[in-house]
Amino acid sequence: MQPHYHSIGRLRPTAAAGTDTSVAAAASRPAAVDITIEPGPNNSRCIWAGIDVAVPAEAVYAALTAYEQLGTFIPGLAENRCLERYADGCRLLQVGKQELGLGLKFRARALLRIREHPAGMPPRLLSRSPNSPRRSTASSKGGGSRGFEPRWPLPLPRGMSPWPDNLSSGWGSSSSGSSSEEEGSWSEWKYLRPRSPLSAPASDISFELVEGDFTAFKGLWRIQPAGDATCRLSYSLFVRPQPWLLVGLIEGRIQGEICANLAAVKAHVERQAGGQTGGGPAAPQPSRR
């Protein structure tokens, strides 16, 4: 069956309690957020999003790694607490809350392990979409293949990871492993490769669920310079709710939250840059669609 892809943009986020209202007001103006959603295996979704930001890449990276301050400008967070700092990141507890109408509320808790990759995540830890055609390598005699490659690998038990705790060291330079790993073959154990129109060097911030109200929730923020004072902010997410909740029922909420979050980050850093230079917030960039 042909997978269904969705693209949206120009959502208007609303201010959450404790959010800087001036940032929320700036974020509520139309902002060109590119977003694509694809079905994943076993009640999951793969999501890619991106937005152009009129500040240097370093400013966006600094804002996203100021973990204690995320709740002041990212909407929809009822709670945001940095529980423990590490040399390469932190453990971050976030609770999201949304009004669904008719007196109903949606609340989700996630304890995340955040890891910083200032020079970019090693390519072998990045994955293509599960809907991408699988690449096969013919044998030297022709007609052969590498044999069976599982398309939907079974997930490890919660809390267990096949990757060492210091992901940023050693993996990038290793020449061992299969060619499919080097090519970024699909695996739930990896991170979805962000989709960006740029080929510039990237700084990445990864997050992965330790425990919470999802079965799987892992992804990546990617920041790439696009000029002297502009950058591209990209985001990827693999998400699977609890088995009793069909992902289609919350898909719209998830995509709305992602668009609102990217717009809020853009508004926050551009407002900060405007204050430092004595000007106002930078104008939203027009959509390139």
Crossing angle of the two packed helices 57-64 and 247-277, in degrees rounded to 10: 120
- Mean pLDDT calculated for residue range 78-101: 89
Neighbours of 30 (CB within 10 A): 13
Q: What percent of the chain has pLDDT over 90?
A: 53
What does the pLDDT read at residue 105? 66
Supply the Cα-derived Rg of the chain in whole angstroms. Answer: 19
Please write the tens of the pLDDT for every residue from 241-254. 999 989 988 888 88
CA distance 198 to 241: 31
270 or 164: whose pLDDT is higher?
270
Please write the tens of the pLDDT for every residue from 140-199. 344 443 333 334 344 444 444 444 444 433 333 333 333 334 447 889 999 999 999 999
Q: What percent of the chain has pLDDT over 70?
A: 64
173 or 98: whose pLDDT is higher?
98
CA distance 231 to 116: 18
pLDDT band at 54 (very low <50, low <70, confident <90, very high): very high
pLDDT band at 101 (very low <50, low <70, confident <90, very high): low
CA distance 189 to 161: 8
How far, CA to CA in Å, does 54 sit from each of 59, 260, 269, 284? Answer: 10, 17, 9, 9
pLDDT band at 110 (very low <50, low <70, confident <90, very high): very high
pLDDT band at 222 (very low <50, low <70, confident <90, very high): very high
User: Strands, E, within 102-199: which ranges?
Assistant: 104-117, 126-127, 191-192
pLDDT band at 270 (very low <50, low <70, confident <90, very high): very high
**Which of these, 265, 236, 284, 256, lies nearest to 9 by C-alpha position?**
256
- Mean pLDDT calculated for residue range 9-28: 42
What does the pLDDT read at residue 32? 86
Please write the tens of the pLDDT for every residue from 256-267. 899 999 999 999
pLDDT band at 133 (very low <50, low <70, confident <90, very high): confident
Q: What is the DSSP string of 214-256?
A: EEEEEEEEEEEE-SSS-EEEEEEEEEEE-TTS-HHHHHHHHHH
pLDDT band at 99 (very low <50, low <70, confident <90, very high): low
* Contact between 50 and 265 (Cβ < 8 Å): no
